[in-house]
Amino acid sequence: MDFRICLLITTLIMFTEQCTVTFINNKCRYNMVCVNTLDNNNQGWNRFRHDPYNRPMNMDEVDMEACSRHITYGGYELDPVYLVFRHKIKDLDTSKPVPITYDYGGQGIVNVIYSLDLSDNNYDYTPVLKSMQNLALLDLSKNQLTTAVLSNLYALNSLKEIDLSYNTISEIQVNTFDHPYSSLNKINLSHNYLVKIPDAVFDRFGYLETLDLSHNYIEGLSPFSFEGIKSLLHLNMSNNRLSDINSSLFRFSELKVLSLSNNRIKNLKLVDFEKLNKLEVLDLSSNAIQTFEFNLFQNMLQLYSLDLRNNVLDVLNKDTFTNLQYLSSIDLSRNKFKSLPKGLFKNKTVNTFSITDNLLEGSLSRGMFDGVNVTRLDLSNQFLSAIEDYAFCDLVRLDTLLLNNNGISSISSNSFKTIRSLEQLDLSNNQIVSIDFQKDDLSNLRSLLLRNNRLAQIKHEHFLDLSNLEYLDLSENAITQLAPSSFKSLRNLINLRISSNPLSGTLETDTFDGLVSLPTLDISCNLLETIQNASFNDMAELKELNMSRSEIKELQYNVFVHTGYIETLDLSYNKLETFSVNMSELVGLSTLFLNNNLIKTILPSSLYGLSRLGRISLANNLIENLNNDTFDNLVDLRNVDLSNNEKLNFHVGLFERTKNLETINLSGVQTDIDFADISDAPILEVMMSDSGLHNISLLNLRGLTHLSTLILSNNSVSELLAADFSGLGTLRHLDLIHNKISFIQPGTFKDNSLLLTLNISHNSLSAIGYGIFRGLIYLDILDLSYNNIQDLLSERFYEVKSLSQLIVDHNRIDSVNAEEFAGTSLVKLSIGDNPLPCHILVKLKKYGTPFKITAIKLDEHNGENIDGVTCNKDYDSAQTKGPETVDNRNDILIDIRNILYMMNNNSKTVRESKDNNYLQNFTKELEKINTSNNEKFSNLVNFSMNVVNINNDTNMILQKILNSLNENTAVTTTTVFTPIHNENKTIDFIPYVNKVKEELEKTIADEKQGVIDEIEKRLSMYHYQTESLPTSPNNEKLVSHDVNVNTKSFFTETCVALILLILVGLVLYKFYKSRMYIRNRLSFSTRELPGAMENSAL
């Protein structure tokens, strides 16, 4: 018992959390949020008693409907409680009814709950609910329920609405022994997995008014699907897979709203809709409806909204909507209608009408829109060809009419009669040749769009009645001439577009007279050749004038008289040879474009008085000389573009008095340019692309002490030297693409410590040399793509520790190691289009890298790629073809270098001040090793000589033995040579000789093994001393010339010694063999001796 009490207390501590209660004043209710348990701190339900005096002061914010809703409990009137109940404990006891309570106060509150929110609890079952006397709203949405259970173990007689949306429900059921929710009037089963509706599944819900089954997978309905539902008002079956209604709606005589959109319905039958006498809203959009019976809607006398958009309807009967007296909204857009019958909406009051994106063709005639009373009519993107008189006479409220993107070529004189409220008329992208129609009823028109038509002439009479017009677009027509005062009546016009017309000849005086409010005029892209004096007379508000891309050859001197305060003047892409106009009316000019003309010189008087001019473009002209005082009056000049004047004789004295100059563009200038005479100039950007530049140092850029951006692309620079960019301490961006750079001298960028981006792509670099990036401590982006670089070694990037992006695409790099960039801040490595083996990319992908690997051109369609970087499969196969003959003579030096690199990568401190000491220590250590190896090799040679001497002594002993044998075994016989068997004394010497021979063989084998052991010992000591070397300096190139020489000598001498040893052994063997075989001996024992000595192991 005590154990159970302890367990209960523990459960209370773990599961019980204090509920939060908030009173919502303007809705007269309590919002309560509880987690795991309903705990009201032992406070009873009486705290929710209704107080009629506790009301907000501002009654305008009160929801009167909500505040009129009270509940009754215990004989008292209470404000409703909206409870949000959340389960955070996964292993909570599912057998307990929800909401779970442990105290007396919680038990009492259960009966005053009006709304219970159990959403987002990850329920995969329908929880048992406690008996709640006043529960009206239940929310079980956004869980994992698979079955919609519309009943409960305990009765919930007041439940009106249940929300089961956003679950995975595929089945609906009412448990036999449970209490059904028979008082429900709203069920939401949307966004689930229902495929079919069982017959009579809703027969116990006789009070149901709203049923939402949208966003499911329902494929069909039967006549008994909704059996038992007697008073349904709203049915939503949208976004399912219905192809046929199948007389399932015959019992819904009270239905008001029906949505069947986004299904697969092809045909509509009268029998399916004939009982819907009280239907008000019908949505049949986004189906595949091809036809329907003309009297389909004859019984829907209350229908006011009909949506038929996005189907495949192509014809309508004029009597289709005859009985729909209350029809006020109809959408017929996105169908295939070719015409609308006259009188289709007669005697109606349609306030919302859409027929966009159809195939309407032919003429718009009177009566077509009879009964339509909309404010906006969109007839764009059709195939209309003409507008007849009084076509819109019934649209008295119309303020926007869109007729653009049709094929209209004919507009009758009275086409727009009676539409006096019209403010916007769009007739663009048609084939209109004249606008002579009556405009007396268009006095309120503010916007008229006539772009891209076939208008050839503009007259003053065309705009007489359009005094309120503000926006007129006449661009892209066929207008060849503008008569003087054509726009005189348009004094309120603030936007005129007349560009891209074939205006030719002369722009006459007072052409734009009357446009006193126009701030911007664009008459570009025409064939005008001459602009007469006072052509822009009386344009007092003109600020921006664009006359570019024309054929202008002459600007008369007083062309800009009385033009107000022009700030931007664009005369680019014309045929001007001189620029000399009266500048008294252009004192406010800030931007002047004269580029792409035929100008040969600019006189100082041409720019006199333009003290506010900040930007001038003279690019792509024929200028050869500019006087020193050309820009003297331009005290505010900041940007000068002189590019592509190939023969320009440029000298920096031009800008001696322009103290604010920031940008100079000299690209395409082929003459010699020298900035030597500039000192402390404020110039921030210099561009010299396509200038035939070979030597950067000849530019003398040192004086540009404020330079931030330097662009030298598309030149012929072959090398970068240390003096090229010296003194440019503020340089931030350097562009050297498309040159012929093959060499960069170390220290080239030593003065450019603030450089952020360096682009050397599309050059001829074959290697990244040591020290070339010295000083670039803030470099962020380095582009080396499209070169011939073969490797990326870590020591090249030690000095660019701020590098975040390295671009090396389209080189010859065949290996990448993430550890090579351990000392940088690299975030992105772009390495596409290189011969990288697949196994290297796979390794990088498998083990990961601290930076992102990408490519300029991502190849995501090729199967052999990692993160869009294609690998070289051929390279992998070439690697596995077979072993190759490799010269190993430099393996020791390679091992030394690799060891030094590894030790250098692992080092975390920079010892820049001790570089020379490290180099000296390293050299001394190499010298010690070489000296020691030479001494050991000398000892080895001496030892070999001793072996030779011992062999010679052995030979002499053997010779003496043989001589002694010959003297002691000589026997004189007269007639017969008789063998001596047992008494012959020479037989006693044979064991002795065999013993000597065995000792000799053993001695030679021991000496041979000793030589081999000594060689292995020397090599082991050499490797040990190599591994103990100190770390090489961080920023110096390893010099190993002498070491290579010594290593080569040691290897050669060792090979020679071994060959000599082999030769000595061979000579000894031949010697023994020749001396031990003695000819012309009569003794039998003597004949046996050579056989005994000829042992293969000797």
Q: Exposed, middle or buried by CB within 10 Å (0-12, 13-18, 19+), for 1079?
A: exposed
Among 165, 188, 211, give the residue marking a domain's end. 188
Of the candidates 261, 309, 250, 306, the residue with the CA atom closest to the CA atom of residue 282: 306
Is 895 within the bounds of a domain? no
Left if phi > 0, otherwise alpha if psi is -120 to 50, otherwise beta: which for 787? beta
The Cα 338–Cα 770 span in angstroms is 76
Tell whether the torsion through CA atoms of 558, 559, 561 and 565 is positive or negative: negative
Of the candidates 750, 840, 756, 758, the residue with the CA atom closest to the CA atom of residue 791: 840
Is 39 within the bounds of a domain? yes
Q: Is 806 helix (H, G, I), strand (E, B) or coil?
A: strand
The Cα 961–Cα 955 span in angstroms is 10
Quick one: pLDDT at residue 893?
53
The Cα 886–Cα 396 span in angstroms is 95
Quick one: pLDDT at residue 52?
66
Among 121, 155, 188, give the residue marking a domain's end. 188
For residues 440 and 466, is the Cβ–Cβ distance under 8 A?
Answer: no
Among 168, 188, 208, give the residue marking a domain's end. 188
The Cα 594–Cα 617 span in angstroms is 6
Pull the structure tokens for residue 563: 């033009």
Give, in order, the Cα–Cα distances in Å from 7 to each of 12, 14, 540, 550.
Answer: 9, 10, 91, 93
Q: What is the pLDDT of residues 582-608, one digit of tens each?
A: 988 899 999 999 999 999 998 888 888
Residues of the chain with pLDDT under 50: 1-16, 875-890, 907-916, 918-919, 970-989, 1026-1048, 1075-1098
The Cα 252–Cα 227 span in angstroms is 10
For residue 47, give the DSSP letter: G
pTM above 0.85, yes or no: no
Sheet with 504-507: strands ordered across: 504-507, 527-531, 554-555
Place of tokens 């009301």: 55
Tally of domains within the chain: 2
**Length, in residues, of the chain:** 1098
Is 890 within the bounds of a domain? no
Is 489 within the bounds of a domain? no
Of the candidates 221, 224, 250, the residue with the CA atom closest to the CA atom of residue 237: 221
Of the candidates 333, 371, 367, the residue with the CA atom closest to the CA atom of residue 350: 371
Residue type, 648: L
CB-side neighbour CA atoms (13 Å) of 812? 9
Of the candidates 778, 787, 729, the residue with the CA atom closest to the CA atom of residue 758: 778
> Which residues span the domain enclosing 91?
17-188
Is 817 within the bounds of a domain? no
Is 177 within the bounds of a domain? yes
Question: At residue 386, what are phi and psi to the nearest 5 degrees?
Answer: -155, 160
Q: Strand 329-331 to strand 361-364: parallel, antiparallel, or no bridges (unpaired)?
A: unpaired
Other Cβ atoms closer than 10 A to 59 = 10
The Cα 168–Cα 242 span in angstroms is 20
Enclosing H/E stretch for 441 = none
Is 103 within the bounds of a domain? yes
For residues 567 and 542, is the Cβ–Cβ distance under 8 A?
Answer: no
The Cα 296–Cα 311 span in angstroms is 17
Of the candidates 805, 767, 824, the residue with the CA atom closest to the CA atom of residue 1037: 767
Quick one: pLDDT at residue 984?
39
Place of tokens 């017969």: 976
Q: Exposed, middle or buried by CB within 10 Å (0-12, 13-18, 19+), for 874?
A: exposed
Is 514 within the bounds of a domain? no
Quick one: pLDDT at residue 183?
93
Pull the structure tokens for residue 675: 């900035």
What is the DSSP secondary-structure string of 920-933? HHHHHHHHHHHHHH
Quick one: pLDDT at residue 1079?
43
